[in-house]
Chain A
């Protein structure tokens, strides 16, 4: 199984400042035949289902603000919120969908400082 880890567990950022979340997979999730990283990022607010933000490691889902960006390849990935807004307070999860089980990372809680 591919094990997903995230860091930090939580972070507090001032409004308008940058938030950076890291995700690491125990094996590469880059599929060589199509050169795609099978890595997604989700946002979950209290009492709501998760919402897809980023897929293929760096493709923003339709309707997601451009302050959210994803980067990385292979085993190391980053979600960046360039200018934190109050509505971005949530838990953020990465997920690999390269192989079964398509597990999630443990989550990173983002708060306002």
Chain B
């Protein structure tokens, strides 16, 4: 059974760093893209970027380039989304999603989401 299990909810202060995770199981982790999608409270879906764990190729949306870092550790089948200095505007639900190789960015299977709250 394919599973994407994301790390738990986080409450952080502005300026703090954060790394959330998405662990894949039940499939060959290195043969599928993993992407990240933001959903701010009461809002729509925003595509952030993707990584191909097989060779670590990464593509970002210009809206998120430089604001976050996407990485993966294929030895433990886990992808990450990282901030070096959080802002209150980063408060959102973050989803990871798996994509087939020929369809990078399309979310075939989704994690349960990680709620990030940034507040002083």
Contacts and interface: CB of A to CB of B under 8 A. Distances in A.
**Are A and B interaction partners?**
yes
Interface of A: 1, 38, 40, 42, 44, 49-52, 55, 61, 91, 93, 95, 97, 100-107
Contacts of A104: 44-47
A49 B106 contact: no
Interface of A is mostly: loop
B106 A52 contact: yes
Contact of B105 (A42, A50, A51, A102): A102
A55 B99 CA distance: 11
13 contacts: A1-B62, A38-B106, A42-B45, A49-B97, A52-B107, A55-B106, A93-B45, A95-B45, A95-B105, A95-B106, A97-B106, A100-B59, A101-B63
Contacts of B77: none
A44 B37 CA distance: 13
Contacts of B60: 100
Contact of B110 (A1, A51, A103, A106): A51
Given A50-B95, A51-B110, A103 B47 contact: yes
B55 interface: no
Interface string B82-117: 000000000000010101000111111111110000
Nearest to B44: A107
Contacts of B112: 49
A107 to B, nearest CB: 5
A102 B95 contact: no
B61 interface: yes
B95 A97 contact: no
Contacts of B47: 95, 101-104
Contacts of A52: 106-109
Interface string B22-51: 000000000000010100000011110010
Most chain A CB within a 10 A radius of its CB, from B46, B47, B104: B47
A91 B107 CA distance: 16
Nearest to A91: B44
A100 B61 contact: yes
B42 to A, nearest CB: 11
